[in-house]
Amino acid sequence: MLILLVLLASLAAMYVLVFLFYWIMQERLIFIRFRVPQQYRFRFKRGHPPHEDHFIARADGARLHALLFTVPDAKGVVLYFHGNTGSLRRWGKRAPRFTQLGWSVLMPDPRGYGKSRGRLGEAALHADAQAWYLYLLDHWPQERIVVYGRSLGGGLAVPVAAANAPRALVLESPFANLYDVARSHNALLPYRLLLRYRFRNDRAIVRVTCPILIFHGQHDTVVPYASALKLYALAPTHVQREMVTFPKGHHSDLARFTRYHRKLKEVLGGEGVVG
């Protein structure tokens, strides 16, 4: 009996330690940030669209940075919220997918990524995303703005689309909420107590009034396919919505499929398709 009690106590202690580890480290696990110096100059391959640095200051002292990739006589602008790893050094390479279809692209780095600085917090991240949308409204009408969210960036894109009336919302490898993602990796922890970042896309998407396009791979081992299905099911039935499933797709390879570019072209229009 004593051995059993000692074993149970040891398991309980290990469980508490794991809980504390995730509680303390969750920001580093969710946001894999890479900073660059303020004087850093972004460089991309020859033939890449030209880009400009843009900055906005926030009331809490944060200073946020984005790159604007431009095309002549652009049809509109894509507000691109990138995934949780890296900075615009990595994500800026995605711009030609949109510029070759005649659209400019504004890509912000969240707080702590790239040149952006500021204290992390979910409310602050949502407010920053909305601030970038309002920044675009100074130059573009809403019907010429497409909001795009990639993976964790979908947690910013969905609330922005819900609070405004853009031309369309496009989501690549999104989730319904961060609980789903966490449980798919470790189902034993009480995430409703543990997670300080929840990104409740499932609550926000019901307020979206623009067309919605979702891309997701069935072999995604980072964000469960079932979570994307849940998100799609919650999208309002009175708006145009479509979920494009890639049976052989994973988390980060959907652009290798022709159907990805064909559907993106349907939303943006244009003649070019890039690999």
What is the residue-level pLDDT of the chain in tens, covering all 275 positions?
767 666 666 666 676 677 777 788 899 989 999 999 999 999 998 889 999 999 999 999 999 999 999 999 999 999 999 999 999 999 999 999 999 999 999 999 999 999 999 999 999 999 999 999 999 999 999 999 999 999 999 999 999 999 999 999 999 999 999 999 999 988 878 888 889 999 999 999 999 999 999 999 999 999 999 999 999 999 999 999 999 999 999 999 999 999 999 999 999 985 433 33
Tokens 């609330």 belong to residue? 159
Contact in structure between 220 and 180 (CB atoms under 8 Å): no
Cα distance from N-terminal residue to C-terminal residue, the chain: 64
Q: How much is the pLDDT for 273?
A: 36
Strand-pair partners of 265: none
Burial of 56 (0-12, 13-18, 19+ CB in 10 A): middle
- Beta strand 85-86 with 32-33 is parallel
Please give the pLDDT value at position 274: 36
What is the reported pTM? 0.93
All domains in the chain, ordered by first residue: 31-268 (3.40.50.1820)
Cα separation, 120 vs 47, whole angstroms: 35
Helix (H) or strand (E) holding 228: helix 225-234
